[in-house]
Chain A
Amino acid sequence: MERYFHEELEAVRSHLMEMGERAVESANLALRALEQRDLDIADSVIEGDDIIDAIETRIDEEVARYISLRAPVAKDLRLLFVAVKASHDLERVGDEATSIAKRTKKILASNETYRGLGRVPDMCELAISMLKEALLSFIQEEEDIAHQIIRRDKEVDALNRENFKEFVELMKDDPSKVDVYAEMIFISKSFERIADHAKNISEEVYFLLTSQSLKQVIKEETKS
């Protein structure tokens, strides 16, 4: 039996999706600002972060209200926990995108030239695809999608290590560019963190759908 207040849960779900779309867009734009050396795009990422933060606050309020007034249990209650945790992860994705945009602006302001972006675009693509799939697993309620995302985080970690080595080598080759490549190392780390948040969200969605810890499930699978 659907109750009149269940639409409030749908509102939470819908705000989480909106936040996810905005976080994905921010990460995409952050890479584009870096690739195209575009200050306007970098500024739009920084400005957009306030909207993402505001949605997180709204979700927190909606969840607190629902728990206080509706006495949710079972999947409804898990959805609310997941909404709070996932919205925090998405807020952090927005912060990482903002950090990338600010570092891009610093690089552009220094007028330094640099040799390529290493594997940063590949990392970004992978991290964003993980994030999109984590959101898809939430929309479609498919725990298998969430399960698959976890393993791909290691690929992103490997790319980050590769970037680190490459940027350190570039610093050694041309010490006058240390500042630029230091920023690149931080940018690479930010995309690696975005992938971590995507992994967290997939774990949260898995818990929502199955009541089980995905970490524990993977540990059991690895044992057998």
Chain B
Amino acid sequence: MSLVSLRLQKEIKMDTPAVDSQRVDRNRPLIRISDFDFSYGDKQALFDINMDIAEHKVTAFIGPSGCGKSTLLRCLNRMNDLIESARINRGKVEVNGVDIYDERVDATELRKRIGMVFQKSNPFPKSIYENVIYGLRIQGIKKKSQLDETVERCLKGAALWEEVKDRLDTSGLSLSGGQQQRLCIARAMAVGPEVLLMDEPCSALDPVATAKIEELIHELKNDYTIVIVTHNMQQAARVSDQTAFFYMGNLIEMNATDQIFMSPDKEQTEAYISGRFG
């Protein structure tokens, strides 16, 4: 493990997933994005993005398709590193003051700290139990009591325990769509992240399953900082504390969600949230 990843690990408190909510400064920016330009090859996807993402809050990214919201989300845990043409032209992304694009930062370590839940649930073709502890197995953890404890804690945290506790050895693929998505959230939680990135986590779910995920997000912010990309503006309004509106790679407006949906500052934001364009 590199020195920087150790430093990063120390900076973002990797061993303390269950944070004492009484001691959390809920206005402190955990993530700071500064003067950030990003391209796929010759095509610039993000222009001069500046934003602070507060700790233990839910931040929603909204905007029409192609506006750059998912691109920015994927920049927060360096998922775009996996795309060959992806390039940061300018600026930086800091987590707890550490520039995550510093060449000495270990991207795999970073992704443990900043987990991701995707649009389509993607459980592995393994048992529910093995799905949850997959990350720990890769880390070489074998102690059964630790694994059992993690499975129960994370499934409870993902509001899935009561539904699956008697069938942990059945396949994760046997669960309903909503349950699979909660299983993926439990799997992301198992490696002890501080941040959960969610890329349209409810787009493939029915309204009841969506409501359960939204309830879960509301609960999870006590322990995690959450950034969610959604096309569903009502969902952004319901679940988030702050909302960022993007258009054509630009951050048009970011503010408290109440402010964005009741009285946005920018005309473009108002036109988008009231369905007049996009």
List residues of chain A with CB under 8 Å of any chain B CB.
Answer: 1, 3-5, 64-65, 68-71
Contacts and interface: CB of A to CB of B under 8 A. Distances in A.
A65 B234 contact: no
Nearest to A1: B211
A108 to B, nearest CB: 46
B211 A69 contact: no
B40 interface: no
A122 B223 CA distance: 60
Interface centre among A5, A64, A68, A69 (most CB of B within 10 A): A69
A1 B258 contact: no
B238 A65 contact: no
Contacts of A69: 237-238, 257-258, 261-262
Interface size class of B (residues with CB under 8 A): 10 to 19
A146 to B, nearest CB: 32
Contacts of B214: 3
Interface in B82-111: none
Nearest to B261: A68
A3 B211 CA distance: 8
Contacts of A68: 237, 258, 261-262
B208 interface: yes
Interface centre among B211, B234, B237, B257 (most CB of A within 10 A): B237
Given A68-B237, A68-B258, A68-B261, 15 more contacts: A1-B208, A1-B211, A3-B211, A3-B215, A4-B218, A5-B238, A65-B258, A65-B262, A68-B262, A69-B257, A69-B262, A70-B238, A71-B234, A71-B237, A71-B238
A1 B212 CA distance: 9
12 contacts: A1-B208, A3-B238, A4-B215, A5-B238, A64-B262, A65-B258, A68-B258, A68-B261, A69-B262, A70-B234, A70-B238, A71-B237
Interface in B203-221: 208, 211, 214-215, 218
A111 to B, nearest CB: 53
Contacts of B218: 4
Contacts of A70: 234, 237-238
A71 B210 CA distance: 15
A214 B188 CA distance: 54
Contacts of A1: 208, 211
A218 B262 CA distance: 38
Interface in B129-185: none
Contacts of A65: 258, 262
A65 B263 CA distance: 10
A5 B211 CA distance: 11
A70 B236 CA distance: 10
B112 to A, nearest CB: 29
B162 to A, nearest CB: 14
Contacts of B211: 1, 3
Contacts of B215: 3-4
A49 to B, nearest CB: 27
Contacts of B261: 68-69
Contacts of A64: 262
Nearest to B232: A71
A74 to B, nearest CB: 14
Nearest to B212: A1
A71 B234 CA distance: 7
B161 to A, nearest CB: 18
B223 to A, nearest CB: 16
Nearest to A69: B237
Interface string B249-263: 000000001100110
B231 to A, nearest CB: 15
A123 to B, nearest CB: 42
Interface in B257-272: 257-258, 261-262
The 5 closest A-B pairs by CB, nearest first: A69-B237, A71-B234, A68-B261, A68-B262, A4-B218
A121 B125 CA distance: 79
Nearest to A70: B238
A63 to B, nearest CB: 11
A1 B211 CA distance: 9
Interface string B43-60: 000000000000000000
Contacts of B258: 65, 68-69
A191 B218 CA distance: 48
Contacts of A71: 234, 237-238
B80 to A, nearest CB: 31
